[in-house]
Amino acid sequence: MFASLPLSPQPMHIPDGFLSTIVSVAFWVIAVVFIIAALRNVRNELGDRQIPLMGVLAAAIFAGQMLNFSISGGTSGHLLGAALATILVGPWQAMIILTAVVSVQALIFQDGGILALGANIFNMAVVGVFVANGVYYAIQRLLSGNQKAFWLSGFIAAWASIVVASFSCALQLALSGTSPAAIAVPAMVGVHALIGIGEGLITVAALAFLYATRRDLISGGASSSQSARSLWIGGMVIAAILAILSPLASAHPDGLEWVAEQHGFIERAQEALYSIIPDYVMPGVPDEALATILAGLVGVMIVLFVVVGIAFLEKRGAQTEKV
């Protein structure tokens, strides 16, 4: 039944070889500093509502990122999710969520290099989150926080998170000597300005769905045990549906890969040092679409357990400190 669905997700993140060793190591150090800061801040913020929301958000963002969407010029984009996560749980928890997603993608699915993982975390989990947070609340204050401001700020925050993260990536390429800034910056920002429109529309659609079905998640209200159960069930159903739809992802190269092909540095990409579930295709399953679905479902569960595990450990640590 899946034979007619030949499309599968494309690699999305910086591979090893695009960045110099010195730039990669520097951004590993920077990323670790921000991760430590995020963990310390999350420890003081976690409540009963936040843990399930963090888990299902991470699962849904992982699955959503597998659904590349086509844009003009033979390239594609994918959900980042930084704005959506930031609006729902705040910047520090969003940083943990995006760090877990990007790390699982690199370590399990060989999407993005291990040496380049620090740069990928910095671009998406740090730059993407803080830009989204700053833009969202700046527009909210500017427009006095009315309902129109909510939708507009969500869209622009999502768009800006993609564009500025791509600008950061372009600067890393330039610092590495991979592509001059005069080429990398306009190429990366130009294509991601289009991808950002898709990010904004997806973010607003997700917020509209939550506004209609679970407005308490947007308002930050307390969750009862019953609402927490419905959050677990509803969130995992959505993540599973997105994973099942993953074979329909665009086969066009994503923005970074397209720029690398157009400007002659794609051959610098290095093969992964090992292989577990490469390219989001479960090994040993002959039908590629089914293999993609199974890989997506496995990834959803791994990301869920990683984020929930981190959240529980941080909450327990906070409780121990109070004793």
Tokens of 253: 């190269």
For residue 134, CA distances in Å to 69, 75, 95, 128, 129 come to 26, 29, 14, 10, 9
38 in a structural domain? yes
- Contact, 61 vs 238, CB < 8 A? no
7 in a structural domain? no
- Indicate whether 309 pLDDT > 70: yes
Q: What is the extent of the structural domain holding 300?
A: 21-322
Instruction: Give pTM, 2 decimals.
Output: 0.92
Query: Could you tell me which of 19, 33, 35, 34 has the C-alpha nearest to residue 170?
Result: 19
12 in a structural domain? no
Tokens of 319: 């409780």
Tokens of 251: 């086969």
The residue type found at 94 is A
177 in a structural domain? yes
- Report pLDDT digits (tens) over 267-297: 999 988 899 999 899 999 999 999 999 999 9
Looking at the 3D structure of the chain, how many domains does it have? 1
- Report pLDDT digits (tens) over 176-200: 999 999 999 999 999 999 999 999 9
Task: List beta partners, residue 76.
Answer: 70, 254
- Report pLDDT digits (tens) over 31-75: 999 999 999 998 877 776 788 899 999 999 999 999 888 887 778
226 in a structural domain? yes
- Contact, 209 vs 156, CB < 8 A? no
For residues 179 and 276, what is the distance between their CA atoms, to the nearest angstrom? 31
Query: Could you tell me which of 12, 31, 30, 25 has the C-alpha nearest to residue 115?
Result: 25
Radius of gyration of the chain (CA): 19
132 in a structural domain? yes
251 in a structural domain? yes
**What CATH number corresponds to the domain at position 209?**
1.10.1760.20
204 in a structural domain? yes
For residues 315 and 49, what is the distance between their CA atoms, to the nearest angstrom? 12
